[in-house]
Structure 1
Amino acid sequence: MVNNQPKNSIIFFRGIAKLIDLIIVIVLWKTFREAGIFLGIFYLLISDGLFKGCSVGKKFLRLRVINIERQRNADFRDSIVRNLVIAFSLFFLLIPIIGWLICIIIFAFEFIIIIGDSENKRLGDYLAKTSVIEE
């Protein structure tokens, strides 16, 4: 599939969509105390399979995750594989200071990959063989 959107625009919208999803993670974390971080991570893992290839953030910004090999919307398996790196980094938030730094480094690494990649993919997209497109 060809994406006619300028590269910087799709990166911006992906960033905003991920921010919306991370806000949901934080709300779950703070609402449900001890279990909240695990609920948030669970949401993040399955999020791209919730609305036919869209997380809440992607749905709001009219983006969709597709499995490139099957040329279909991402399912829960695709979502889990593509979000493993981000979800794993959130566990470090349970460790004061050094854990937060590790989490930030992992997020920065993913962001740098998206910026430098000609197809706007991050590590999770390569692992799951997915791509983010406009709806």
Structure 2
Amino acid sequence: MELDMNNSESIYKQSGEGRQDLEKADFLNRIIAKAIDLIIVIALCEIIPKIGYLAGISYLLMADGLFDGRSIGKRLIGLKVIIRDRAGSTAVCGFKESVLRNLPFAAGYILFGILNAIPLIGWIISFAIIAAIIIFESLVMLGNEDGMRLGDEIAKTQVVEENRGD
């Protein structure tokens, strides 16, 4: 089990049949998958008054631990979150890693809930903070050769294209 240092586009995992190539997820696919997940969070918040906010935070934090390392958005787009260790082996993202990797987005969502209570300007301030978090995470992801954002670095995870041949 090793990392291919010559090709930063892919990592490898050992399977029973030999080596499988896992390709890092495309930036646009990751944005679309996260947008789908955020639509689910907003829908929960709007459809179920009061408890929907907590349901939204819960989904946002744990989404990547669902469905074998795939949130609903990632599942629809064909992406998967894996855990990378120093030896180069991989495993499917669990709930612990999902919570760690999604903390930056959850912090923005929590601030949105708090600041939204401020009349007139609360939503503007909260929108600016959430936009700053999304822009920062996107820039980190674009600048990292493995496509890892801050949340991925914290949780030691990576988003890869799902192998449809399985």
Length-normalised TM-score, structure 1: 0.91
Which structure is higher in helix share? Answer: 1
Distance across 2 between alignment mates of 1:54 and 1:4: 15
Deviation at residue 110 of structure 1 after TM alignment? 0.6
Structure 2: 5+ residue stretches without partners = 1-10, 13-20, 116-121
The one-letter amino acid paired with 1:12 is L
Question: Counterparts of 1:108-123 in structure 2 under 5 Å?
Answer: 108-123=135-150
Stretches of 4+ moved more than 2 A in 1? 2-5
Q: Structure 1 residue aligned with 2:95, among 73, 76, 96? A: 76
- The alpha-carbon deviation at position 123 of structure 1 amounts to 0.2
Q: Secondary structure at the match of 1:53?
A: coil
Q: Percent identity?
A: 40
> Of 111, 115, 136, which residue of structure 2 is paired with 1:92?
111
Which residue identity is paired with 2:150?
Answer: L
- Which structure shows the higher strand fraction? 2
Larger of the two Rg values belongs to structure: 2
Which residue number in structure 2 is paired with residue 20 of structure 1?
A: 36
1:49-99 CA-partner distances (Å, limit 9, x unpaired): 110100000001110000001511000011000001111111121211212
> How far is 1:35 from its partner?
2.1
Alpha-carbon RMSD? 1.7
Gaps of 5+ in 1: none
Do structure 1's residue 129 and structure 2's residue 149 form an aligned pair? no
Task: Please say if 1:57 is aligned against 2:73.
Answer: yes
Which of 51, 55, 58 is the aligned partner of 1:39? 55
Count of residues in correspondence between the two structures = 133
Could you give the per-residue CA deviations for residues 26-50 of structure 1, whole angstroms, max 9, x where no partner exists?
1000011222222111101000011
